[in-house]
Each structure stands twice: as structure tokens, then as C-alpha cells.
Structure 1
Amino acid sequence: MEEHQEVEQHHLQQVLEFYPFEINEVKLLSSRSGRTTWEVDTNEGKKILKQASMKPERMLFIAGAHQHLYNNGLAITPIHETKSGGICIGAGSLGYVLYDKVEGSEVIYYNKEQMLKAMEFAGNFYQASIGYLPAEESKTRGRLGKWHKLFRWKLQELEGNKTIAESYPTDAFSLLFLQHVDEMIQRAKEALAALDEQVYQEASKEVSSLRGFCQQDFTLARFTEVDGSLFMKELHSITYDLPTRDLRIILNKMMKKFSVWDDQLVFDLLRAYHKTNPLSENYYKILNVDLLFPHLFCAIGHKYFLAQKRSWSDEKYIWALQNIIALEQSKGDFLKRYPFIYRDIISGHGEGN
């Protein structure tokens, strides 16, 4: 163990020597899900060194996007270049990036003011992302025009998990899953069919020409609040996709905390986003479709039947499923009441007024 730590320390030292800073101290912050971060105390303040298990070409794609956002004025921490001008370092199957550590207040889901600021930031994020042309060596990632494939794969897995659940007649999770899976399969089929409408193809072509990108996982954990404004601490990952994808992900995350789809809060959040990145009606039609698809229900089934969360007890799995069922059902009711979200956002009508 000691020998392994010495090798790691030597490797870290080699990586940090590429940067034009005097290193005083290095402290491990976290190591999980293929990502490790260290706090690096330098002669020019504290920095964060992130190591990710990904090809350097992918890290270059993300680091270039980080720099693009910063150069376009987004409130995101500065990324540091190496002595030779590189924005990241590759070492076999690992990539490294170094950026400033930003001190601020925690941003939480139960603080409505911060949630509204996060939505405004999400709009600014997409605006700042437009026009990103990565370096030629980058390995890019995009989901434009691929939603049919993604929805179809998730639907097939959902139907497969139904079959698995039927084979466990005494399993409490499976029994609860089976009570609602047919409704979720029907919603998934409706959402998949709706992607055949022309608005999805048109929006995909428009966004492709804009060269704007989304995050893979839009979450408040990546923010800190400094002097009343939100600041992005890091850029985890990106993909070329419709801006509504980030909207669906962050709305699902926020509402899941409350175990219910809160109409008034949702309208307030969407109006906050619309201030900084006003979208046309077609994009909100696509958002309706993406919200209709039961992503969260699919995800909890995926986790359970593949035993991805080995540390979770059966009780925790059941609690998570109950929470998601309540959320998905209230979201379904919301979509029936407001089939034209865009008109209610623009007019100021609806529960959010």
C-alpha cells in the first residue's frame, strides 16, 4: 500500500511539473466514479487538479469547452494552461485538468432563490456555449438526431425489466414496479412516436449549425454562490445536443427533491431560464416530449435489476421507487393540464403566475 501511494505521489508530481506554479502542498479531496480530485496549494493560490478515466482526446473536448465558456464571459472558474500552452494533460487512459478553486456558499435544491438563479445560469450557459469548435485532436460527443435510438433502447430495457420483475413474485420492489410499469411503457411509446414530428428534426438541424452544447449531468453540486451570484466550479462533461435536454435533467432533479411535480415552481423555473435563453415554441414542444418519457422510472429500474447500487438496502430502493412513482404521476398530470407550456410561460398564465 505504501509503495502504491509513493508511485501515485510521484505520478502527481510529474503531472504538476507541467504547470508554471510552485507547489506547496497537495491534498486528496475525493476519488469516485473514475474521477479523482486534489487541492493544490501553489504560489498563486489554491487550485483543483482533476484526474478522469477517459481518453485524453475526450478530456481535450471538455477542457476546450470549459475555456470556450470562460472566454465567452460565463461565470466559470479559469482553467490553467501548461508551460507549453496545453489546456489538459493526457497520460495513457487518464486525462488531467487544472483550474482555480473558488470559495463560496453551498447551492441547494430547497432554496428557491438559488434554484431560480441556477435556471438563469443554465440559459447563460447555453448562450455562451454557442459556436464551440473543438481542437482537431478532440474526440467529440453528440446526441443530436439520436433521441429515437436512446428512447427506443430505454423502452426495450423497460419492457425487459418488466419480464424480470414478473419472475420475482415475492420481491417487494418488483411488485411495486409492476403496478406502474405498463403506464410508464405507454408513456415511453407516446414520447418515442412524438419524435417523428417535424419539429424535432428541424430543431436538431438548427442546433447543429449553432454548435451549442449541453452538460451531461446538470446539477447544483457544480455551483457555488459568490457575492449573491452563482459561479460554476467545474465542467464535468458536455455533449452537442438540444438545450432542452439540460432543462429536462435539471427539472427532474429539482422536482425529485420534493417528491412531487410542483406546477407553480416549474413555471417560475422555466420563466427564469427563458429570461437568459428564450426558446421558440418548437423547443418547448420537444421539452414536453422529453418530460413525458419516464427517464427517472427507467433509471431506478436499471439500477435495481442490474444491482448497480450494491450499498443500497432493499428499503432504500423501495423508497426511491415510491418517490419516483409519485413524481412521474404528478408530472403526467401536469403535462395533461399544460399541453402548451410555451404559451403559459410567455403569457404569464398558469400556476406560475
Structure 2
Amino acid sequence: MKDIVIEPWLVDETTHEFFIPEYIIQLAEEVLKNYDLSVQNMQIVTTKPDKGGAIWKLETKSGPKSLKLLHRRPTRSLFSLGAQEYLVEVRKARVPPIVKTKDEKSYVEAGGKLWFVAEWIEPLTPVTKDLEGARKLCYALGEFHRLSKGYVPPKQAEMASRLHKWPKNYEKMITKMSWFRNIAKYYPEMPASPPLLEVVDRFEEQARKGMERFLQSSYVEFVKQGTAHWGLVHQDYGWSNGQMGADGMWIIDLDGVAFDLPIRDLRKLISGTMADLYKWDATWVREMILAYHEANPITPELYELLMIDLAMPNEFYKNMKEVVYEPEIFLNEQTAQLIQTIVETDQSKWPVLAEIENDWKGVG
């Protein structure tokens, strides 16, 4: 099995929810031979067929563990594994400890990917989807960011940093707005094309104004402070990846961690939560920011950048960018409805941002 390279696999209505190709199951069994574990049961709990990743829960004589097949390049996976070890061993953070192989390694390479075993933390329960739950989630995120400062990746790991990418991200957002417009014009008969054409100018204007404010911000000064100063962002943090354990909040699924300004995680969490509420709520936003600030203080300059990032048309862009790939499938009735929901939610955003804009003035 030495020459096997793991590839993404196809799933369709004939395959069950957690289908995994047989050769990957065999590789998983080979990988486990590197561990001093008496495995009584293996159960698949997550798959990423489009990327070639998976997670199993293992029942062993020494308690439950997880076996993860990481879908990223091995050098990129080394970055996140190094981060997980740093957080556990150096910073005593509540993230799952990695189980070492028989020869004291943190991972096994097989099929051109990295695999690792970690402790399965039990019990873990999602926090309640209310303001109190949101506060706990934000405090845990702030704690994670603070504890991740000072991380130095292993020498052979590739550098995963998004610290310098903010201007490019915003430029891409502005550029894609004209793509959306052109595609909607090209497919005028599709249900979502008229509503998309109706609103794209508004969101493009938001992005342009945001870019102007961003260029006046302290961003360049922040970047000069370097990666170790800022620490890591989770990149996929939310109600499933921050959960309550017996001794406090745990953060799981660290495969995508990268260096960045920490408020990017906070912004994603806030705008995603507001999208779930279908309206922006000043109390929620304020309390979420304050809870985060208690764990990882936000300076007035960083708060200003958070406000700029919140004001960008993030939800519109995130939900519309798929149109580029398969417009004739994407521009359907469902997308027309989604556009309406995004527009309605967006209208409630501006009074909230105006209300909280000056909360941090004179603080510091």
C-alpha cells in the first residue's frame, strides 16, 4: 500500500452518508499499527469526500480517541499539528492532546497525507444558541487567540499566514461583484438573475467604501508586529467547534489554523450569528465583543478594523461566489429567496454598526 495516494472520492444517492473507499479504511488500519492502542471499535464520524479527509472515533482500552486523516498538504498539516501541540503542552489550552506513536511521533504519513490520533474529550456539549451561549463562545475564542501567541511552526512546516492578505481579499470581493453582475446579465431568464442585478450595485458600493476606510486604518502597523505577536486564528470557529466540557470551554478541529489578526475569527462569528438570527441586534454584537475583550483585550485601533470588517458585504459575497462555477444551476428560485433574506438582514446591520461604532472611542 506504499504507493497509494489518497484522492477525493465521489458520493451520490447510492452511497451512505459516511461512505469511505475501502483502500482508505485499510490505510487507517495500517496507520493504527503505529500506536500502542488496543482498539475495540472504530466508527466514522465525519468525512470530507470532496477533499479527501475523515475522522473516526476509536474505543480503546485507554479511553475514547479520535483518528484524523488530514486532507491538506502534509507540510500544511504539520503547521496545524505543531500549533495543537504548542497550545496543549506549552500553553495548557483546552484543545485535545495528541497521542504519540510507539516511536514518539505526533503523526503518521500514509497515502500522501498526515494522520494523527488525539484524545476524544467527553463529555462535550454545544453551548445554548442564546446570548449567554454566544458570550461563552466569544470568551473561549479570545482565550484561544491569547494562548496561541508566540507559536513558532516546525522548521519543515509551510507558513500558514493570512496576515498580509486582507487587502487582496477586499480587492477580490470588489472584482467579483462585477463578475456577479455580468453573469446575471448573461442569464436573464434565470429566477435569481433579476434580484441579483437589483442589489449587486449596493453591495459593491459597500465594499468600495469599506476598502477606502481600510486603507486609512492601522492595518499596515498591525502587520509590522509580525505573526507571533498576533497568534493564530481558527478560521472555522463556531457553535460546533467551541463546546462546553466538564472543566470549561474546549476548542476542537484545529486543522485550518493560520496566523492572522484575531478579529477575523470574531467578525466571522458575529456576522454568521446575525445571519442565523435574520437580523442584527446591537445587544448581541456588543456583548459578544465584550466577552471576547475580557479574554483577549481589543485596542481602539483593532476595534476600528473590526468595525470595517463587519461593514463589508461578507454574507452576500460568501453566499453568491458559487455563481461563478455553475450559474445555470445556482441562479435558481432558492437563490432568489436567499438574496431577499440577505438584503433584509443587511438593512438591520447599519443602525447597529452606527450605534456601536463609538463604543471604543477614548478606551485604551
TM-score by length of 2: 0.87
Pick the aligned partner of 2:65 from 36, 41, 47: 47
1:331 aligns with 2:343: no
Secondary structure of the residue aligned to 2:102 is coil
Aligned partner of 2:86 in structure 1 is 68
- Contact 2:81–2:255 (8 Å) recurs in 1: no
1:21 aligns with 2:37: yes
- Contact 1:23–1:41 (8 Å) recurs in 2: yes
1:340 aligns with 2:358: yes
Q: Which amino acid aligns with 2:253?
A: E
Q: Which amino acid aligns with 2:314?
A: H
How far did 1:331 drift?
Answer: 1.7
1:264 aligns with 2:280: no
Structure 2: give runs of 5+ residues left out of the alignment: 1-14
Higher helix share goes to which structure? 1
Aligned partner of 1:351 in structure 2 is none
Query: Cα distance 1:246–1:273, how it changes in 2: closer, same or farther (>3 A)?
Result: same
How far did 1:327 drift?
Answer: 2.4
Secondary structure of the residue aligned to 1:242 is coil
1:247 aligns with 2:266: yes
- Per-residue CA distance 1:27-51 (angstroms, 9 max, x = gap): 2122124221111111211111111
Aligned partner of 2:12 in structure 1 is none
Aligned partner of 1:83 in structure 2 is 102
Query: Cα distance 1:93–1:318, how it changes in 2: closer, same or farther (>3 A)?
Result: farther
Structure 1: give runs of 5+ residues left out of the alignment: 348-353
1:222 aligns with 2:264: no
Aligned partner of 1:235 in structure 2 is 254
Count of matched residue positions in the alignment of Structure 1 and Structure 2: 343
Q: In 2, distance between residues paired with 1:73 and 1:135?
A: 19
- Per-residue CA distance 1:244-263 (angstroms, 9 max, x = gap): 11111111111111011111
Query: Cα distance 1:61–1:13, how it changes in 2: closer, same or farther (>3 A)?
Result: same
Q: In 2, distance between residues paired with 1:221 and 1:313?
A: 30
Q: In 2, distance between residues paired with 1:109 and 1:207?
A: 36
- Per-residue CA distance 1:281-321 (angstroms, 9 max, x = gap): 000111111111112111111123424997x8934333333
How far did 1:169 drift?
Answer: 2.4
- Contact 1:50–1:96 (8 Å) recurs in 2: yes
Identity %: 24
Q: Which amino acid aligns with 1:162?
A: R
Q: In 2, distance between residues paired with 1:332 and 1:89?
A: 49
Query: Cα distance 1:309–1:9, how it changes in 2: closer, same or farther (>3 A)?
Result: farther
Secondary structure of the residue aligned to 2:59 is strand
Q: In 2, distance between residues paired with 1:320 and 1:27?
A: 36
Aligned partner of 2:216 in structure 1 is 197
Query: Cα distance 1:78–1:104, how it changes in 2: closer, same or farther (>3 A)?
Result: same
- Contact 2:193–2:331 (8 Å) recurs in 1: no
* Alignment root-mean-square deviation, CA: 2.5
Q: How does 1:77-156 map to 2 (within 5 A)?
A: 77-107=96-126, 110-156=129-175
- Contact 1:47–1:99 (8 Å) recurs in 2: yes
Query: Cα distance 1:309–1:69, how it changes in 2: closer, same or farther (>3 A)?
Result: farther
- Contact 1:304–1:317 (8 Å) recurs in 2: no
Q: Which amino acid aligns with 1:314?
A: N
